[in-house]
Amino acid sequence: MNSPPTSPVQRRASAGRDQGNNPDAQYLHICDFPDCGIAFDRREVSKHIFNYHLHGVDQWDTIICPLDQTKMRARNLARHYETKHLRARVSCPYCPREYSRRDTLVRHLRESCPSRLQG
Ligand SMILES: [Zn+2]
Ligand SMILES: [Zn+2]
Ligand SMILES: [Zn+2]
């Protein structure tokens, strides 16, 4: 059996300030794309993708997702991002970090997880 660690995994709850006053804060998501890091409303993921990552790109162009190298039409990127990278996140069992890719989490566990390094 693979028993889970005792400390509860915390969802990303502290991103951004003043979120107690902002009912929309729970929907904020930090873009995972390299060199982006922009926070956007996760209900408007396609708007962000089209405005920031597909600007001037034809919707029928073949593009490659920078996060997992999946090939697809540009028009499918927003939905791909939403299902693969926005919803399906993996959490570090030892600290509050979340990653969109399991191999990134594995590397984090091996190299940079603060709780692991202390132990
Ligand atoms: Zn972005
Ligand atoms: Zn992807
Ligand atoms: Zn960690």
List, for residues 90-103, the tens digit of each pLDDT value.
888 888 888 877 78
User: What token pair was written down for 27?
Assistant: 């929907």
pLDDT per position as a tens digit, 32-82: 899 999 999 988 999 999 999 999 999 999 999 999 899 999 999 999 998
Write down the pTM of the prediction: 0.56
E strand spans, 1-119 = 28-30, 39-41, 62-64, 71-73, 90-91, 98-99
Expressed in angstroms and rounded, the spacing between residue 3 Cα and the centre of ligand 3 is: 17
Is the per-residue pLDDT at 21 higher than 90?
Answer: no
Give the pLDDT score at 97: 86
Expressed in angstroms and rounded, the spacing between residue 114 Cα and the centre of ligand 3 is: 6
Expressed in angstroms and rounded, the spacing between residue 119 Cα and the centre of ligand 3 is: 12
Query: Tokens 């400390």 appear where?
Result: 7
Is the per-residue pLDDT at 2 higher than 80?
Answer: no
